Amino acid sequence: MIPPRAADEAAATEAGGRRRLGRLLTAVENDPAAAAEIVRSMWARAGGARRIGVTGPSGVGKSTLVDHLIAMARADGSTVAVVAVDPSSPYSGGAILGDRVRMLRHSGDPGVYIRSMAARDHLGGLAAATRDAAHVLDAFGFGVLILETVGVGQSELDVMRAADTIVVVMAPGLGDSIQTLKAGILEIADLLVVNKADRQGAKETALQLREMRHLAPKPSGWDVPILQTVASEGTGIAELWQAIRQHWDYLRASGEYEVRRGRGTVREVMDLVERALAARLRATLGAPGQVGEILERARNGALDPHSAAQAILDRLLTQSR
């Protein structure tokens, strides 16, 4: 796998660069070993993109909101790449459908690149594949990187952790779904948005978020704002973009930027180590006449659990050479 030579914005905006980018992202998505090699070879050029995460339950209008954010970033003179992640979809059907609509809209703009990722059978994990895709897009020179997820499960949380600024989107009338936000996602929100704010119950949703915000531990120096938008009409978008820029300024001025990126990197490294160990264990389990035999002897009581574990561990570490 040969990495692209040019790492400037030209590489991302010219047609040849985009085709190369597409091939690299496909490799990153489908082959963890290739992903490691690609990221390694491009690493020196990555790290300059501002990473915005956008998450929230489905049906709150995230795609429309992201479309506006693309436009705001473009108006600021920045190139934009979007990674749309759908962990709930075994195929990339839904995400790709939305993508195509958006791709059509932005097809005339060489400064915008949109890529969807679905659960499929990511050996390295969807969050890991998304992080690698982000590194590649970053190295290609995109100024703003938007990580967008569908739903609010654990995978989405893991994806969001790769972002510098995390925007959690809600909408009125989702009832119980605001409760599900409690399970971790609220704690990592830097900005809270009530979209479809012209609908009934918007004020109540904002109040609920305000209450829940008080339950979450507050980051020092940053008061998580609650913004109201009507993305379908473009209302409140300029204020949202302004708040995102203020969060960037806060991250930089407070030194929180380096702390976060560092923490994220350590988490990413340890996650890769754990995945590699788990993959090694699975591979050993599948080998005939190997670990399966040890487990069988444990199962029928011939071998005690500790001796069986030690035998598997020995095999695991021996085979690694």
Helix spans in the chain (H): 9-13, 15-30, 32-42, 62-75, 93-106, 126-139, 154-160, 177-180, 185-188, 202-215, 237-254, 256-286, 291-299, 305-318
- Residue 143, C-beta contacts closer than 8 angstroms, at least 6 positions apart: 9, 48, 49, 50, 73, 78, 79, 80
Q: Show the site string, 290-309: x = touches its own copies by CB under 8 A, - = not.
A: ----xx--xxxx--xxxxxx
Query: Which two tokens mark 135?
Result: 């590194």
Please report, as residue ranges, which positions from 186 to 215 form the binding site for its own copies (by CB under 8 A).
Answer: none
| Residue placing its CB nearer to its own copies in the complex, 188 or 281 | 281
Position 36 contacts its own copies (CB under 8 A): yes
Using the rule CB under 8 A, which residue among 277, 283, 286, 287 binds its own copies? Answer: 277
Phi, psi of 31 (to 5 degrees): -140, 100
The whole-angstrom separation of Cα 45 and Cα 223 is 33
Q: Rounded to the nearest whole angstrom, what is the least distance from the CB of residue 261 to its own copies in the complex?
A: 8
Q: Rounded to the nearest whole angstrom, what is the least distance from the CB of residue 186 to its own copies in the complex?
A: 20
Between the alpha carbon of residue 89 and those of residues 92, 94, 239, the distances in Å are 6, 7, 32
- Residue 48, C-beta contacts closer than 8 angstroms, at least 6 positions apart: 138, 141, 143
Please count the other Cβ atoms lying within 10 Å of the Cβ belonging to residue 203. Answer: 12
Using the rule CB under 8 A, which residue among 281, 283, 288, 290 binds its own copies? Answer: 281
**Secondary structure (3-state) at 257:** helix
Q: Which range touches its own copies (CB under 8 A), out of 35-43, 68-76, 173-181, 218-226?
A: 35-43
Number of residues that bind its own copies (CB under 8 A): 40
Q: Show the site string, 133-172: x = touches its own copies by CB under 8 A, - = not.
A: --x-------------------------------------
Using the rule CB under 8 A, which residue among 269, 283, 286, 287 binds its own copies? Answer: 269
Q: Rounded to the nearest whole angstrom, what is the least distance from the CB of residue 27 to its own copies in the complex?
A: 14
| Residue placing its CB nearer to its own copies in the complex, 108 or 305 | 305
Q: Rounded to the nearest whole angstrom, what is the least distance from the CB of residue 135 to its own copies in the complex?
A: 8
Helix spans in 107-169 (H): 126-139, 154-160
Q: Report the Cα–Cα distance between both ends of the chain, in Å, rounded.
A: 25
Position 287 contacts its own copies (CB under 8 A): no
What are the residues binding its own copies (CB under 8 A)?
Answer: 35-37, 39-40, 43, 47, 131, 135, 262, 265-266, 268-270, 272-274, 276-277, 281, 294-295, 298-301, 304-310, 312-313, 316-317, 320-321
